[in-house]
Each structure stands twice: as C-alpha cells, then as structure tokens.
Amino acid sequence: YVHKYSERASDPWFSPKALWRVIRPRPVFALITGFGEIKSGHSGKGSVGADTVCGALRAAVKDDGVEAIILRIDSPGGSAIASDQIWRDVCVARMTHKPVIVSMGGMAASGGYYVSAPATRILAEPGTLTGSIGVVGGKIVVGPALAREVGVTHDTVSVGKRAALYSSITPFTRDGWRWYEGSL
C-alpha cells in the first residue's frame, strides 16, 4: 500500500521544484506595435499615432508587473514632432530601468529609426530597411535684428495667407508654422 505512494513521491512531476515550475509567475512583457506612417494623435489603419504609442509606453512603465517593453516598429517615418514625442517616452521608459527592446519590421526609416535609437536593444530582420535622412527645417528671421542693429527697416506687401511664409523678415505665424511642419 505505501509503495504506491512512494513511487508517486519519487515522480519528478510531484516534486516541489516541478510544482514551482508550473505555478511560478512568468515574466510579463508589454508588446506595443506601430505599423505605418508616424503622425500626431491616435493610431489608425496604416498609421502610428504618437498619442496611442506614448499612452501605451506610459502604461507599461507604470505597471509593476511588466518587466520589459517590446516596441515593434514597421514604419517609413512621418511627422518629426510625433516621432520626437515617442522618442522621449522611450527615453523615459529606459530611465525607469525597464528594458525597451525594439523589433524592426520590414522598414524602420526616418522617424521609425529615430524612435528606435534610445532602446536598450534593437533587433532588425535581415531585410529591414532602416536609417534616417535627417529632415530638419526652419528659417532665420533677420528683420528685427537689421532694424535694431543697423537701422534697416522693411515694408511687406503680400497677397494671400501664406505669401510671406518663407520671408526672412517676418517670423512664422501659428498657421504658417503648422503648414510648414506638415510639408516636412
């Protein structure tokens, strides 16, 4: 009678170590995906929304059960501002000492490359197209300095809402800046 139980007790599946292997807590990873053009706002079909990705990154950082964050990117890039917002939240996640692993899909170019750069580790497929062309834009406004330093003043005559958009005499208006940013 006892020998039946002694055989069972010697079975490795009934040992405390085997039981712990079955019931122990498993590591939890947050998987955040971004497929498509990077843009401000929320993700949609074919777009990576900065608000959506940043919200997911912040939630993963706050969740004590999450041990690491996996960010899967497949993007040709997009908005510089939206890419910078995601980049910043990847940096914040790294500062909390949670590993951020980026998995690049078929493409992680421009903004897709930029948001990947601060990751703990970057994994790319053999055929992944990645890199950055470094789009930067702006203008130098010299009108106020010319007037102040050498007394050169100006008069602007323009027809149309954005006729003076590229003028080095006047700064961007709020609408002009939005339009210019969208053209990058």
Judged by DSSP in three states, 15 sits in coil
Integer angstrom CA distances of residue 179 from 42, 49, 83, 100: 20, 19, 18, 34
Catalytic residue of the set 75, 83, 110, 116: 110
> Does 110 qualify as catalytic in the annotation?
yes
Q: Are 67 and 59 in contact (CB under 8 A)?
A: no
CA atoms of 155 and 157, how far apart (whole Å): 7
Q: Using CA atoms, how far apart are residues 100 and 60, in angstroms rounded to an integer? A: 10
Eight-state DSSP code of residue 172: P
Active site positions, annotated: 110
